[in-house]
Each structure stands twice: as C-alpha cells, then as structure tokens.
Chain A
Amino acid sequence: MNILEVNHLHVSFSTYGGTVEAVRGINLQLEKGETLAIVGESGCGKSVTANAIMRLIPQPPGRITDGSILFKGQNLVDQSERTMRHIRGRDISMIFQDPMTALNPTLTIGTQLMEGLKQHKAVSKEEARQKALDMLRLVGIPNPKERLTQYPHQFSGGMRQRVVIAMALICEPEILIADEPTTALDVTIQAQIIELFERIQRETGVAIILITHDLGVVAKVADRIAVMYAGQIIEKGTKRDIFYHAEHPYTLGLLKSVPRLDIKEARLTPIDGTPPDLFSPPKGCSFAPRCPYAMEVCHEVPPIQTELEQNHHVYCWLQDKRGKALMAQTATKK
C-alpha cells in the first residue's frame, strides 16, 4: 500500500529573471516501510520535491502550481498551514543536509528533542525525557543522560546528525525525508549514518525518502530509486533495475561517472554538456541536448512513461515503440 503518492507535481519559483519551474510534473509512490532514493545532480529539483512534500517551500517566491501529494489519501497540497503543522514532525519528518547548522546553538539537545514530542503528543515532562533518552540510545549516542543537558557545540558532526535523526523520529513518524543526510559528513561517519538508517528502518518500520547525489549511499540502502533530471523523473525502478538494467542514457551516464574498485579504468566517463536552463526548458526531452543517442523526436516531443518491467519505468523515446511512430509524424509535418 502506498502511504505517499505524488502525482504530477509542479513547483515553480518567481525570480527577478522570470519564473523557474524547478519541479516539472513528477510522479512518485512510497510504500510503507520502504526506502525510496531520489538521485540526481545538484539543482535537479530533489530538495524542492522534498520541501514540497513537507509544504516547506518558501512562499513567495515558491509555489506548488499543479499536482497532488496524497498522504494516506489526504491531499497535502490543499491543507491549511495549521493542519500541516500537525502533520509535520508527527506523520512526516525531515532531516537536513548540514547537522552543524540544523541544531539551535542556544538550546540544549534535550530541549530540542523534547519540543517536537510536546508539540504533538500529550506527554508529561518525565515521559518526554524518557522518550528522548530512548531516542538517543536508538541512534547510538553514549551517555544519553549527560548528553541531554548539553549544547550542540559539544557534539561532533556525526553525533549531531544522530541527534537530528533522533529528533526527527521522536514522534514515530511514518515517513522520514532525509535531504542529503550524509553529504556534509566525512566518509567513515557517512557509513555509520547509513547503517543507522538501515537499523532504524528495521526497528521502527519508517518509510524513508532519501535524497542524495551519492550513488554509493543509494546502492547500500535504497529499495527503489527514482532518477531526477532537470525537474523531472527520467527513470525509476528497483535498485536492481537501476544499477543493472538502467535504460535511460542519463542513468547510464551517471553510473559510468562513478569510480569503481573492480574495474581498472584510468578515467571516468563524464556526461558532456550542462543541464538545461530551467527558465526556458527544452521543448522535447530535457536530456536530449546532451544525449549521445538523441533522435529527432527527442528534441520535439517530451517523452512519456514507458513500462519496461513491472515497476521499472523510463521516460525515453529510445525505449518506447511509439517513438518511431511519432518520429514519422514529425518528419511528415516538416
């Protein structure tokens, strides 16, 4: 059963230079207890998607212009700010990229942990404290009792990210959105945090949306993967589908650009060119200008969803039989 369904979501930002469509019609499904990874390069709309689900897009300049976000059948796009406040933290939690700045330097860890719980649940001070201690233990912080009265500056980066995770999980939410949770950490700490995610999911059954550009992290924890490019999802499927049977040229390009230990290769293969300018996105497939296999139709008509296997979808004319028919059509039009 899907607890979260994002349908045809559009988010745009008004700037002095014009309107940028940061997210252009994405569809996502999240099942109970699974990990969905959203991958893509910087600026492809991953974080905007995450913030849109939480309805934390700064407004103005941002706006959800179209689409729906169904959380257990309830459309979050239409909810009032007041209703959203009840959902945030209690049903859907979010953690951010940089643990160094995500904690308020002037409040103790305990206060920051407990305030979310006090906001959403009727708990006594002692219960809240107990729960906070449990959470600190869950995320693997030694001496939780002492730690509770300490301030963020007394914690290291990895420990802070653990505290942030504990904070996000304290109300036992059903969905945890992790926006690049390991990017700001060094590699050894990254591995620990990733393991923590796996363990927490086993123990609490929380569904995780993991936003990252790190394919190594994805390979470790994700059940399903959605690859984003220029505000759109271009391919999605299970981890196996994406890592072993990727069909979209962009996904293949991404995978080729990751260093591998098992193959002796002197150079990585980069994807040539740069992402399109979202002030004026291309008419057809947004990847077409960089795509080595682009056909005429790719520049003219945006690709539609093609089901390769069950749950493995790609948005690419190369994979779609209808592409050829369209190509003929555009040719005759000319």
Chain B
Amino acid sequence: MLKYILKRLTIMGVTLWIIITLTFVLMVSVPGSPFNDQDRNTNDIVQENLERHYNLDKPYIIQYFLYLKSIITFDFGPSIKQSNHTVNDLLSRGFPISFELGMVSIVIAVISGVILGIFAALKHNGIIDYAAMTIAVLGISIPNFVLATLLIQKFAVDSNMLPTARWESVAHMILPIIALATGPMAIIARLTRSTMLEVLTQDYIKMARAKGLSPWKIIVKHALKNALMPVVTIMGTLLAGILTGTFVIEKIFAIPGMGRYFIESINHRDYPVIMGTTVFYSAFLICMLFLVDIAYGLLDPRIKIHKHDGDRP
C-alpha cells in the first residue's frame, strides 16, 4: 500500500510538472504583456522598470526556473494587476468559496443521483423509472449556464423566492448549486440505474434472497456496493467538470470565488495569478483523482493496490 502511494505521489509530481511547463509555454507564447494596456499610457522607462521588477526582462529559461522556485516555495508573489494582493491572498480568499460551491454540488449530485438511480432500477419500467430517467436526460442535455439563467428567471425574477446572485446565505447557495449539480446528478443517476439493474440479476443477489434477507438489506449491503463501482470510476471526470463548471456558475451568480480571478488573470496577462491558479487547481484535481483511486481499491477487494503474490490457494 505504502509503496503504491509513494509511486502514485511521484507520478502526481511529474504530472504537475508537465502541467506547469505547458502552462508556462502557453503563457509566454500568447502575445501581449500585463503593461501594455491602452488606457495606461506608460512611457518606455517605466515599462522597462516594471518588467525588471517582475523579472519579465530575463530570458524565458530564467523566468521558467523562477516560476518553478515560486511553486516549490508556494509563494507566487504579488499579482501584477492588483499589486496590493499576493496570489496567495487571492487563492485563500477565492478558493474556499469555490470549494464550498463545488463540493456541496458534487455531494448533492452523488447522493441524489444514486438515490434516483436506485429507485429507477427497483421500479424498472415503472412510472418512477420513466420520471427519473426523463429528469436525467433533461439534466444531461441542458448546459449548466442555460439552466442557471432559467432558474434565475423562474425562482428569482418571476417568483422572487430566492436571491438572484451573490454568496451570502444558504438561500443564495440554492440556485447555483442546483445549476451546477444537475448535470453530474443526471449522469450518476443513469449510470447507477444501469449498473444496479445488472447487479440485481446476479446470482449473489438471488443467493442473498435465498438466505431470507430483507429486500432493503439486499440492496444496501449486497447490491449498492457493487453498483457504485462505475460511479466511483467516473467521479474523476465529474470532478473536473464541476471544477470548470464553478467558473461559469460563479460568473452568472456573481459569486466571489476563484473563477473570476482565473479568467481576469488570463485577460490581463497577470502571469503570477495565471500560474498560481492553474497550478493550484491542477494540484487539487490530481489529489482528488488520487483519492478516487484509493476509494476504488477500498470498495472492491479484487482491485489490489498492493502486490501480494500467492493469494489464491
């Protein structure tokens, strides 16, 4: 187990390095600089001084190593555009909000998706099944930004039940979370339904019935764990989807999360912020994927994380 984790951590490190390098290459290959806005008519000397201050006058290779250093020390320096804030400030201010939005959404998506899927499978070809699957198809086919605007129109503008935007109370959280969670929920519901249907025909379910277990026990203890395997598998993809989804949703609901800094930093060529947010998000996603893999091994004993020869008699 420990060996596996160490191996994975190494691979994660390499992945992260590749992402950092790619981001750097992309960043410097995009034309423009943080200091040539039309509105700020700086003269050449000022421009040169600024570039020197942010090390932008150095050769790319030096800049690259300076970035690597900043990542290793986890100090991305000040933002170029908002020079009174460091990148770490922006991260610590924006990330908790994005994290809250994303995590609550994924938790709600998983729970409601799995429940919907189970009921659809149990009432196979019944009204509940068709209703659940109709919701699921709608959820998959409507993009979250369309859903978000529809929700705002319906619940905030028309009926005035919920606030249109911002991130202040639980009421503020409802619409963005619904908008963000519906897509993944629909995917999970469909997947749970199909795997559940398959699992329910397995012999061990019949065996469990022959033992006299109650239907509830059979589903929770025998069927669910097996049916959740594919759901865990797609969790990684869904997490990535939620992550990028938060940017869009944050923009629509004017939520002060990471999304705003991320997009603005790219528009402004605010190099330290671009690097900081990208690296931070990549690291976060890589860690989540790692956790998903660990969870997979815990759920299914057949997936051996550690090498163990001669187990079979």
Closest to B224 in A: A106
The 0/1 profile, CB within 8 Å of B marked 1, for residues 189-228 of chain A is 0000000000000000000000000000000000000000
Q: Is A72 an interface residue (CB 8 A)?
A: no
Alpha-carbon distance between A208 and B214 when the two chains are bound, in angstroms: 25
Which A residues are in CB contact (< 8 Å) with B222?
A: 104, 107
Q: How far is the CB of A14 from chain B (nearest CB, A)?
A: 14
Closest to A141 in B: B313
Closest to B208 in A: A104
Query: Size band of the B side of the interface?
Result: 20 to 34
Given contacts A115-B221, A151-B302, A155-B313, contact A103 B211 (CB under 8 A): no
Which A residues are in CB contact (< 8 Å) with B209?
A: 56, 88
Task: Report yes or no: A101 in contact with B204, Cβ–Cβ below 8 A.
Answer: yes
Q: Is A256 an interface residue (CB 8 A)?
A: no
Among candidates B202, B213, B225, B313, residue contacting A119 with C-beta atoms closer than 8 Å: B213
Alpha-carbon distance between A119 and B214 when the two chains are bound, in angstroms: 9
Q: How far is the CB of A96 from chain B (nearest CB, A)?
A: 5
Task: Report yes or no: B213 in contact with A103, Cβ–Cβ below 8 A.
Answer: no
Task: Report yes or no: A96 in contact with B203, Cβ–Cβ below 8 A.
Answer: yes
Alpha-carbon distance between A108 and B302 when the two chains are bound, in angstroms: 11
Q: Is B89 an interface residue (CB 8 A)?
A: no
Alpha-carbon distance between A251 and B312 when the two chains are bound, in angstroms: 42
Alpha-carbon distance between A333 and B214 when the two chains are bound, in angstroms: 57
Task: Report yes or no: B210 in contact with A153, Cβ–Cβ below 8 A.
Answer: no
Alpha-carbon distance between A167 and B221 when the two chains are bound, in angstroms: 16
The 0/1 profile, CB within 8 Å of B marked 1, for residues 104-130 of chain A is 111110000001100110000000000
Which B residues are in CB contact (< 8 Å) with A103?
A: 204, 207
Among candidates A85, A95, A102, A156, residue contacting B204 with C-beta atoms closer than 8 Å: A102
Q: Is B291 an interface residue (CB 8 A)?
A: no
Q: What does DSSP make chain A's interface, helix, strand, loop or mixed?
A: mixed
Alpha-carbon distance between A266 and B144 when the two chains are bound, in angstroms: 74
Given contacts A96-B206, A153-B301, contact A104 B226 (CB under 8 A): yes
Alpha-carbon distance between A106 and B301 when the two chains are bound, in angstroms: 6
Which B residues are in CB contact (< 8 Å) with A159?
A: 313
Q: Is A311 an interface residue (CB 8 A)?
A: no
Q: Is B300 an interface residue (CB 8 A)?
A: yes
Q: Is B254 an interface residue (CB 8 A)?
A: no
**Residues 170-214 (chain B) with a chain A CB within 8 angstroms:** 202-204, 206-214
Task: Report yes or no: A88 in contact with B204, Cβ–Cβ below 8 A.
Answer: no
Give the number of chain A interface residues (Cβ < 8 Å).
35
Given contacts A89-B211, A119-B213, contact A156 B312 (CB under 8 A): yes
Task: Report yes or no: A85 in contact with B214, Cβ–Cβ below 8 A.
Answer: yes
Task: Report yes or no: A119 in contact with B212, Cβ–Cβ below 8 A.
Answer: yes
Alpha-carbon distance between A88 and B207 when the two chains are bound, in angstroms: 10
**Residues 118-169 (chain A) with a chain B CB within 8 angstroms:** 119-120, 151, 153-156, 159, 164, 167-168
The 0/1 profile, CB within 8 Å of B marked 1, for residues 40-57 of chain A is 000000000000001010
Closest to B207 in A: A102
Alpha-carbon distance between A56 and B300 when the two chains are bound, in angstroms: 28
Q: Is B311 an interface residue (CB 8 A)?
A: yes
Alpha-carbon distance between A168 and B207 when the two chains are bound, in angstroms: 9
Which A residues are in CB contact (< 8 Å) with B212?
A: 84-90, 116, 119-120
7 contacts between A and B (CB under 8 A): A95-B207, A96-B203, A102-B203, A104-B204, A108-B301, A119-B214, A154-B311
